A and B are shown apart, each in its own frame.
Chain A
Amino acid sequence: MINHIDVSVVLRGTVCDLYSNLVTRPTGAAVRAEIEQQLAEIGGRTLTVIDFTHVGLLDFSCADEIVAKLLLKYTDDGEAREREGYFLFRGLNDSHHDAIEAVLERHGLAIVAQGPEGEPQLLGIVDDGERLAWEVVCRLGAADCDDLAEAAGLPAPDAERVLNALRRRRLVMRVEDMYVPVGLAR
């Protein structure tokens, strides 16, 4: 099941019902805490759409609190790694992109965002191998190590390594033996 969290609703519900801008670090921390609370109630592996469609301004401090710290917690190195939380970011405008890409770069993180036509896009820091693997798996819809090795012309161990790296970074989900890009998972 895919969960949907409208960030503007969380903002108004947790901080102030008059606010439409995500500014200041305390605001970001409060919004993230509420998102984490919702995810904890669901439990287990989750795929959550974080929807910024109705958010006006997002500043760097809020982007750091909401996006970067959320990811840091749920990736394989994070304190909530056992919950295996995956995120798809929706409704990002140009200014949201600026703030989010700056904080992703600062932490060496990457996210999957929905593009204008709903297509999944990688934002943030990924190396060439990860990007190639991501694009191939997106084109295939889902892939195992052999599929990627064949389609990308990679040795099988390299294909396995890069798919695992993408999964640890929560950019693809593992479903049985297949790897599915976060933006294409159902």
Chain B
Amino acid sequence: MTTVITVPASLDDASFEQVLEQVAPLPPDARMLVDARHARWASPYGLTALLTLAQTREVRPAFAPPEADETVSYWSRTGFFKHAESVYDLQKAVRVRAAGESSVLLEITPISKAGDVHEVVGRIQQRAQAILHGELGIDAKATIGFSMTLSEACQNIIEHAGRGGWVAVQSYTWKKRLGRRVVVIAVCDAGVGFRQSLESKEGRSRGDRWDDGMALEEAVIRGVSRFRDPGRGQGLAGIRRYVGKWSGKLSVRSGTARIAIVPGWDDDVPLAERLPAFPGAQMQITIPERVPAR
């Protein structure tokens, strides 16, 4: 029997939970059809998480692409179908187009080794400057920090996940919650996740409470790493500083929990627990357009 997993019409980090609620009760070897026929829009998080979802399955799932031409066209330009072909059985042939739309700063890119991070950072720098400074009104100097943030986010996959993942960067107008343009980095993997990564830390003392939420608090808020090297853990700290400086939002989901650094313009909760279980780690960084002071 094949279970149909319905993809919401608008797929982002919040609505992806609806996908996971459908998947969580299934055994890993269950046959699954991910039905995106009615999807009309997806954030970079939504698209990279869909690819990650397929990686978590023991039986290669099927995928029904969106019916709307413009959605297929946009997802194609993000590079989604090019990679979906490698992890899903596509139910319908999709014409794969090259990326190039101006809002796609970085098409979906697999990350599995240090060279991938060099490539990603090299590719994004010029476009990031045009978008961040030209369209979002952010200081030109912030472009470098953005690339550093991207680099550190990708390195979490290489250093901790134990398997490859995906990164994508897009800018778009976030009408629903903010009414401004944003640039969004999404980095998703189906690796070991924060809790298991920290469990491998030598000499780690286990308190009464130890779960995905606590692991996220240790890593994201307190900069704890599984390595004894005191220099470790600086990447997430650097991401937090950058996000704070530019009134951005950072959210990291791992296992059954999600932690967020929540700016004033958002009403998300700092820590969500008892979410549907999902392997690995999924990170989203959102930098909003600057609004000139009145």
Contact = CB atoms under 8 A, between A and B. Distances in A.
Nearest to B144: A95
A71 to B, nearest CB: 11
Nearest to B239: A60
A79 B236 CA distance: 29
Interface residues of B, number: 24
Interface in A73-99: 94-95, 98-99
Given A23-B118, A27-B118, A94-B141, A57 B231 contact: no
B164 interface: no
Contacts of B103: none
Q: DSSP class of A's interface residues: helix, strand, loop or mixed?
A: helix
A124 interface: no
Contact of B151 (A24, A98, A102): A24
B230 interface: yes
B121 A57 contact: yes
A129 B235 CA distance: 32
Contacts of B234: 60-61, 64, 102-103, 106
A16 B145 CA distance: 23
A133 interface: no
B108 to A, nearest CB: 20
A106 B231 contact: yes
Contact of A23 (B121, B141, B145, B241): B121
A25 B227 CA distance: 13
B18 interface: no
Contact of A64 (B125, B145, B231, B241): B231
B159 to A, nearest CB: 7
B78 interface: no
B158 interface: yes
Interface in A15-69: 16, 19-21, 23-27, 56-61, 64-65, 68-69
B14 interface: no
A65 B230 CA distance: 11
16 contacts: A19-B118, A20-B122, A24-B114, A25-B114, A26-B114, A27-B118, A56-B125, A57-B125, A58-B148, A59-B238, A61-B234, A68-B231, A95-B145, A99-B148, A103-B234, A106-B234
Interface of A: 16, 19-21, 23-27, 56-61, 64-65, 68-69, 94-95, 98-99, 102-103, 106-107
